[in-house]
Amino acid sequence: MHNALRYGWNVDHMKSARDRGVRRDQRKDTLIQILFGGRWEMRVPPGEHRVRVGIGDASYASTNTITVEGVNLFDSRPLAASEFATAGQVVTVDDGRLTIDAGASADEATRINFVNVNVFEPRGCKDGAVSGEATTGDSGAIAPLPPRPYGLNELKKVFGEKCNPEANDGRAYSPSAGGRGAHGYVYFHARLADVIGNEILSKINTRGKANDYGVWGYACRLIAGSTKWSVHSWGAAVDTNTLRNPYGQNHWNGRGSSGKPYGRFLPDTWMGRGFYWGLNFNHPMHFQYVSGY
C-alpha cells in the first residue's frame, strides 16, 4: 500500500528488481524482471481504466511480453540495451483488480519499467547518463536546498504547492522501509534528495538495525484530526520507528528493529542535517524540513 493505493505482486519479486544507476530518469533506470507466472495487480473500481506500461533495460537487451486484463500490449518485443518502449490501452476491469502480467513468456525475459494508471502520458524527465548531481522530473538539475524554512509561506517558497509532482520525485533505499528489518524505498521532495539520500540515510545505513518499522515519507493528506495539510504533502517530512514512537507520545523510544537500544542516534542524525523534530509537538516519529508549521 502506498498513498492509499493498494497494489503489488502475487509472488515476491524483490530479487528480480534492478536499479541500474546509469540513467537520470528513474522510470528507465529501474525495472522488474517478471517471474514466470508472476502478475501485478492494483485495486481499482470496476469500469474502464487507461493504462500505460514502459518496458526495457538500461544495461541489457530484452524480449518483452505484456498483457493488461488479457489485452496484449507487447508480444515478444525485442529491445536492445538502453532501448525502451511504451504502449497504452483502455481496458475494462470487472473484478476490482487491474492485472498486468507477462503472459506465457520465459522467466525474467520481460523487463517492466513503470505502470501509469489513469494518467494520460508519463511526465517528462530529463534523461541521459547519471553524472552524480541530484535531478528532478521536468526541470533537470534541482536548485540548491536553502536553510530550513519557517512557516507555511516559506514552506511553499521552497517546495512549491502541496502534492505537486516534485514532492514525490525523490527517493532512497532505507532500512525497514519495506517492513521490519527489510530495506525499501522512502519517497520525498526532489530538493531533499541529496541531504536525505546521501547524508542522512547513508549514515543510518551504517547502523541499519537502528531504523525500525515503519518508515514513511510523501503522502498527500491532511494532518490527522485537523484541517491543515500535513508537511508530508510537500514531501518535506519523514516518519521513522513509528511503531515505537506513535503520535501523542512525549518521549523517544530509541530501540531498533532487533530491540537493541540506539539512544538518540536517529534523532541526532536527522536534526544534525537541519530537520525539525516532531517531539516538540508530541510526534516523536516525525522529522520535517520546516519549523513554525
Phi–psi pair at 15, nearest 5 degrees: -75, -15
User: Which residues have CB under 8 Å from 241's CB, separation 6+?
Assistant: 211, 212, 213, 215, 253, 254, 256, 266, 285
Strand 39-43 to 7-9 pairing: antiparallel
Q: What is the pLDDT of residue 138?
A: 37
Rounded to an integer, what is the distance from CA 254 to the centroid of its chain?
Answer: 25
Report the amino acid identity of residue 194: D
Q: Take residue 43 and report the three cell numbers written for it.
A: 485495486
Quick check: pTM over 0.85?
no
In 3D space, the residue among 100, 90, 99 whose CA is nearest the CA of residue 47 turns out to be 90
What are the Cα distances from residue 258, in Å, to 159, 182, 255? 36, 12, 8
Rounded to an integer, what is the distance from CA 252 to the centroid of its chain?
Answer: 26
Q: How far apart are CA 277 and CA 287, in angstroms?
A: 5
Specify whether the CB–CB gap between 64 and 111 falls below 8 A.
Answer: yes
What does CATH list as the number for 7-117?
Answer: 2.60.120
3-state secondary structure (DSSP) of residue 52: strand
Specify whether the CB–CB gap between 16 and 108 falls below 8 A.
Answer: yes
3-state helix, strand, coil in the chain (%, to 5): 20, 35, 50
pLDDT < 50 stretches in the chain:
1-3, 120-141
Report the amino acid identity of residue 239: D
Q: What are the DSSP E strand ranges found in the chain?
A: 7-9, 17-19, 30-33, 39-43, 47-57, 62-68, 71-79, 83-93, 97-101, 111-117, 135-136, 140-141, 170-174, 184-188, 237-239, 276-277, 286-288
3-state secondary structure (DSSP) of residue 186: strand
In 3D space, the residue among 109, 106, 10, 7 whose CA is nearest the CA of residue 51 turns out to be 7
Domain edges within the chain: 7-117, 135-288
> CA angle 194-26-193, nearest 5°?
10
Q: What is the pLDDT of residue 139?
A: 37
